[in-house]
């Protein structure tokens, strides 16, 4: 999701002067309001992740958000820049970093990931609105490459809706393979369903019970990526409030669905598993790192979906959302240049044909 935007804030008591080419559009919606909308959209999956995985998930979220805020303030102070107090962009970055990590990681790792996301992923490029890559995904990629074992160790949610409720906040959470990990190791959707049923996370091991578990979110995964239902709730909220555009998420999901089918995978299971929808809704729609034109957004989403399908099919990683979006982030400047929107340009109308028998 968008965790950066181009708005700036003036120092207290001083007017803010913008120097840019036309057109100039005035709006009361600033960065703080947009980021607030994103936080509201993320609230359902955040609360669900804490309920599902317990105290480790809550601590991961708190540490990541706090680290992002502190890192931004200290960096800007050290570089003698104004400290942003109310735009909430650092909080969104920190929350996104936490939600794409497995619960139970050593707390210093989410803290390091959030600091890396803010300092390297955003501030090194010039700060808010100048970053080339999605900062939260930069932080996650850094953690996966630096600490692959910890970043791919998953806690099993041992209770839900009254099933084995006493174990839901247990510190000694059992670890296991994610559904995508099982598929990558040669397993089938039936094997995934059997595992969910044996853990009490699905009513049975049949196909539709397994799909239902994925839709609700009662399975292994990153803190904020498990519940498809709540991700869709956030998506609808962001669309209704006009915080994001529909083109990137829809084209990304559709592209991945089609190529998963062509590669011989179950497309419905492929879409519902892993971080595809979370990435499509909350990461790929970042204002700065996605194209600005409608056609560019469609191409961006198509490319990201294709790359994810390729990585899942032939790559070493069972998941590919992070790297697919980062690759397309690198393509965004080219798409913006290739498919330019010329402000003020009016397409000339075709000359009307003269009536038969009429004069020239």
Enumerate residues 6+ apart whose C-beta is below 8 A from 45: 99, 224, 225, 227, 230, 231, 234, 278
- Give me the mean pLDDT over the 300-318 stretch: 91
Tell me: pLDDT of 53 over 70. yes
Highest mean pLDDT among 171-180, 184-193, 278-287 belongs to 278-287
pLDDT of residue 40: 96
pTM: 0.82
Cα dihedral: 186, 187, 189, 193 (round 10): -160
Kindly report which listed range (120-134, 187-201, 277-291, 304-318) carries the lowest average pLDDT score: 187-201
Helices (H) and strands (E) in the chain, counts: 15, 2
R_g over Cα of the chain: 22
Q: Using 50, 70 and 90 to split pLDDT, how confident is the model at 360?
A: very low
pLDDT of residue 128: 80
Phi-psi region of 209 (alpha: psi -120 to 50; beta: other; left: phi over 0): alpha
- Reference 96, options 232, 226, 235, 3; nearest CA is 3
pLDDT tens digits for 219-250? 778 999 989 999 999 999 999 999 999 999 99
pLDDT tens digits for 31-46? 788 899 999 999 999 9
Residue 355: CA count within 13 A, CB half-sphere:
1
- Give me the mean pLDDT over the 249-259 stretch: 96
Q: Domain coordinates of the chain in residue numbers?
A: 29-178+220-238, 244-339
Q: Using 50, 70 and 90 to split pLDDT, how confident is the model at 165?
A: very low
pLDDT tens digits for 139-151? 999 999 999 888 8
Tell me: pLDDT of 11 over 70. no
CB 278 within 8 A of CB 315: no
Q: Using 50, 70 and 90 to split pLDDT, how confident is the model at 300?
A: very high
Tell me: pLDDT of 173 over 60. no
d(C-alpha 146, C-alpha 148), whole Å: 6
Comparing 358 with 126, the larger pLDDT belongs to: 126
Residue 144: CA count within 13 A, CB half-sphere:
21
Q: Give the CA angle between residues 44, 302, 336 to the nearest 5°.
A: 100
Percentage with pLDDT > 90 across the chain: 46
Phi-psi region of 99 (alpha: psi -120 to 50; beta: other; left: phi over 0): alpha
Q: Is the peptide bond before 23 cis (omega within 30 degrees of 0)?
A: yes
Is the sign of the CA dihedral 26, 338, 253, 281 positive or negative? negative
3-state secondary structure 322-336: HHHHHHHHHHHHHHH
pLDDT tens digits for 110-122? 999 999 999 999 9
Structure letter (DSSP) for residue 219: S
């Amino acid at each position: 999701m968008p965790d950066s935007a181009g708005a700036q804030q003036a120092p207290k008591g001083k007017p803010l002067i913008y120097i840019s080419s036309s057109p100039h559009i005035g709006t009361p919606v600033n960065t703080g309001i947009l980021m607030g909308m994103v936080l509201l959209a993320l609230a359902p999956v955040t609360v669900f992740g804490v309920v599902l995985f317990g105290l480790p998930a809550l601590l991961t979220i708190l540490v990541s958000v706090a680290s992002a805020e502190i890192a931004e303030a200290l960096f800007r102070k050290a570089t003698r820049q104004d400290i942003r107090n109310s735009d909430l962009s650092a909080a969104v970055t920190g929350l996104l970093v936490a939600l794409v990590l497995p619960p139970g990681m050593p707390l210093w790792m989410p803290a390091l990931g959030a600091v890396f996301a803010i300092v390297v992923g955003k501030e090194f490029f010039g700060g808010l609105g100048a970053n080339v890559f999605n900062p939260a995904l930069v932080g996650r990629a850094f953690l996966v490459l630096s600490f692959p074992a910890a970043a791919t160790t998953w806690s099993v949610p041992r209770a839900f809706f009254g099933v084995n409720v006493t174990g839901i906040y247990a510190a000694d959470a059992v670890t296991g393979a994610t559904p995508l990990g099982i598929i990558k190791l040669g397993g089938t959707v039936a094997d995934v369903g059997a595992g969910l049923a044996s853990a009490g996370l699905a009513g049975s091991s049949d196909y539709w019970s397994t799909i239902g578990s994925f839709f609700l979110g009662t399975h292994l995964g990153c803190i904020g990526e498990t519940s498809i239902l709540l991700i869709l709730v956030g998506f609808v909220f962001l669309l209704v409030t006009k915080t994001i555009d529909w083109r990137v998420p829809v084209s990304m999901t559709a592209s991945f669905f089609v190529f998963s089918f062509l590669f011989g995978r179950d497309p419905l299971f492929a879409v519902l598993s892993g971080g595809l929808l979370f990435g499509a809704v909350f990461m790929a729609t970042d204002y700065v790192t996605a194209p600005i034109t409608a056609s560019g957004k469609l191409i961006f989403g198509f490319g990201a979906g294709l790359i994810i399908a390729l990585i899942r099919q032939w790559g070493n990683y069972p998941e590919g959302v992070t790297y697919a979006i980062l690759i397309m982030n690198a393509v965004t400047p080219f798409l913006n240049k290739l498919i330019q929107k010329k402000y003020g340009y009016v397409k000339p109308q075709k000359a009307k044909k003269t009536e038969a028998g009429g004069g020239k």
